[in-house]
DNA sequence: CCCGTGCCCGACCGAACGGTCGGACGAGCC
DNA sequence: GGCTCGTCCGACCGTTCGGTCGGGCACGGG
């Protein structure tokens, strides 16, 4: 019963070595596809190659496993996006860099966007069980939203952006990024190809850039 | 075992009269909140005020109930949105009308957007059980998407819109509408108030209009 | 009057659920 | 050899799952 990553030194996760990481990897894919209630621990264990009981050695309960997966996903996103909040440069440039980073993070793993979307709009109340872990995840989320909001307000203040409603714009941007990469088979049928190919990712970045330049920029 | 609405004459659904409609109403709300796997039939029956077995008199199985709910929701949306496809007027005007209608349809019931979003990005494979009903729903969906796509292409052809990627733009618009109204507590926390209030709906319409006028319109 | 029909119910089924428990097995340390 | 400790497992628990079954009850037509 460790429930906290064992320091994990310099090693990047080229492939999951420890059982704990393998469980997280598998659970991430499954939860993304079918949601918290739609995944059985039996299935997770089988996919990892362990007995079901062994899962409880690494995670106290199913909900603990879920919040661990959620936290890991959000952590990966913050790791990529947050740096661009404090970069030098004009607000528009920084906002573009930050959204590019977000898209990269979402495109990295196919499960990321779906999991994040589920975490956003689904409210399965985990009755005060995983309080601290969930609180940490929410703090990370708010840090990301605050950073984006600050960037937008700054751009408006210095005249680079139109005086739009900041929360509404953030919602639109989330829709254009998170929803898009979460749309799965439907999205692939719509654009007529894989969502995560290098070309499709490039196209989405261009789309978002255009959205910013034409839809957000103040008229010259 | 009817499984098809009993004609339902002129009566509008001011309140659900028949048991079947009550079941659909309740199931819609529950499925929207917790997803297909997260809702038990026992819970549905209890909320309706019936025994669990009685549900099976009106619907052959849980998945049949789910696709019925999905079809009803999508039907309501098409009912509102489709007319504006064939309206007279310039493409931009018609697109704005059609998106307004979509927003109205999503704002009408709190569950609509969530259910639709789930239907879009969730792929719980209902193993060839509810084939015909699901196919009809997908046909409705494609009709809506085609109508929107035609409107966009038309606008581009006549020079009203920039030569954007039509599928990508549709994805962005879905994100700006369906995702926004599905975002629930998170969205309310972000914009700092209820999502479905008349004022919030008006604001969202304005946001989308601005998105079109600034982000999509061809430069004069 | 009786019988068919629509609607509903309680009791029940096998399967799957999340979770517990006692112990097996190997690596390291004395 | 004996010891602990981390990891893993099979068997098992109570509960809930979707779904079935037989029958009860009201009603309308012969």
Supply the pLDDT for residue A220.
57
- Taking the CA atoms of B115, A29, A189 and B173 in sequence, report the sign of the dihedral they define: positive
**What 3-state class would DSSP assign to A5?**
coil
* pLDDT tens profile A5-64: 443 333 344 456 788 999 999 999 999 999 999 999 999 999 999 999 999 999 999 999
pTM attached to this predicted model: 0.90
Supply the pLDDT for residue A211.
87
Q: Compute how many other C-beta atoms are within 10 angstroms of the C-beta atom of residue A17.
A: 11
B183 to chain A, closest Cα gap in Å: 5
Give the integer Cα–Cα distance in Å for A131 and A12: 29
B182 to chain A, closest Cα gap in Å: 6
| pLDDT mean values, one per 10 residues, chain B (220 residues) | 40 63 96 96 96 96 96 95 88 92 95 95 76 89 95 92 92 96 94 95 93 74
Q: Are A78 and A137 in contact (CB under 8 A)?
A: no
CB burial readout A108-139, b (16+ within 10 A) else e: ebbbbbbbbbbbbbbebebeeebeebbeebee
Q: How many Cβ contacts (< 8 angstroms) between chains A and B?
A: 137
Which bases on strand C have an atom closer than 7 Å to a protein beta carbon?
Answer: 7-11, 16-22
Checking each nucleotide's C1' against the CA of B58, the nearest proves to be: C7
Q: Are B171 and A183 in contact (CB under 8 A)?
A: yes
Contact A168 B207 (CB under 8 A): yes
- Average pLDDT of chain A to the nearest whole number: 88
Supply the pLDDT for residue B2.
42
Establish whether the CB of A19 is closer than 7 Å to any nucleic acid atom in strand D. Answer: yes
Give the integer Cα–Cα distance in Å for B95 and B213: 11
* pLDDT tens profile A106-151: 999 999 999 999 999 887 777 777 788 889 999 999 999 999 999 9
pLDDT tops 80 at residue A208: yes
Contact B38 A33 (CB under 8 A): no
CB burial readout A154-183, b (16+ within 10 A) else e: bbbeeebbeebbbbbbbbbbbbbbbbbbbb
Mutate to test the interface with B, among A171, A182, A188, A189 (most CBs of B within 10 A): A171
* pLDDT tens profile A151-162: 999 999 999 998
Rg (CA), chain A: 19
Strand D proximal residues, B:52-91, Cβ < 7 Å: 52-53, 56, 61-63
């Amino acid at each position: 019963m460790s429930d906290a990553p064992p320091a994990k030194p310099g090693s990047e996760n080229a492939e999951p070595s420890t059982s704990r990481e393998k469980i997280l990897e598998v659970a991430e894919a499954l939860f993304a596809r079918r949601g918290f209630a739609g995944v059985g621990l039996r299935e997770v264990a089988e996919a990892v190659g362990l007995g079901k009981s062994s899962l409880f050695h690494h995670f106290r309960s199913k909900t603990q496993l879920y919040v661990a997966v959620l936290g890991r996903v959000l952590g990966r996103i913050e790791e990529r996006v947050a740096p661009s909040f404090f970069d030098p440069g004009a607000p528009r440039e920084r906002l573009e860099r930050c959204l590019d980073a977000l898209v990269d993070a979402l495109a990295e793993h196919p499960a990321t966007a779906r999991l994040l979307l589920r975490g956003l709009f689904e409210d399965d109340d985990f009755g005060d069980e995983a309080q601290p872990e969930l609180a940490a995840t929410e703090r990370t989320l708010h840090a990301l939203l605050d950073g984006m909001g600050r960037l937008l307000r700054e751009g408006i203040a210095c005249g680079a952006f139109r005086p739009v409603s900041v929360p509404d714009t953030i919602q639109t941007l989330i829709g254009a990024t998170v929803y898009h990469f979460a749309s799965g088979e439907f999205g692939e049928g719509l654009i007529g190809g894989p969502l995560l190919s290098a070309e499709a990712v490039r196209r989405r970045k261009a789309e978002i850039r255009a959205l910013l330049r034409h839809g957000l920029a103040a008229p010259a």
